[in-house]
Amino acid sequence: MTTLDFFLSLAVAAAAGMIIGFERQWQNKSAGLRTNTLVAMGAALYVLLSIQLTEEQGDVTRIIGQVVTGVGFLGAGIIFKEGANVYGLTTAATVWCSSAIGCFAGAGFYLETLIATSCIIAIHLILMPLNKLLNRRK
């Protein structure tokens, strides 16, 4: 892997994380711009490290599996319960998706990173009004 490949993967991961984080911060959610950018970049870094370490032999997916688990624990810390209400599930899911975005970017799947980032943003923007409408119905 060249230094340019490394930089491009990190830049794509950072950009995707920033896009997701910007939307979350715009909506005044707890995990915003910096959190989603760092999660996406961190995941990309682990994938890049895995690729470097297993260039000759080994299984790149082992570190990716650990990223999934580790970010799952991070997400669990975002979720909290207050009485009968549970808060932070969407934020935790978004952080988990940001790590997947970082894994895609780190592995060099740039078009897929763009598509997945667009889907995450679309889910937040399109489904939020529907979610509010359904919550008012209660």
**Tokens 């959610």 sit at which residue?**
29
Domains of the chain, residue spans: 3-136
pLDDT, mean of residues 120-127:
95
In the chain, % of residues over pLDDT 70: 99
Residue type, 35: T
Average pLDDT over all residues of the chain: 92
Encode pLDDT of 82-112 as tens digits.
888 888 999 999 999 999 999 999 999 999 9
CA 33 to CA 18: how far, in whole Å?
6
Q: Of all residues in the chain, what percent carry a pLDDT higher than 90? A: 65
Q: Name the residue with higher pLDDT: 20 or 31.
A: 20
Q: Specify the pLDDT at position 138.
A: 65
- Whole-angstrom distance, CA of residue 68 vs CA of residue 18: 20
- Contact between 33 and 21 under an 8 Å Cβ cutoff? The reply is yes
Q: Is the pLDDT of residue 22 over 90?
A: yes
Give the ranges where 58-109 is alpha helix by DSSP (H).
61-78, 89-106
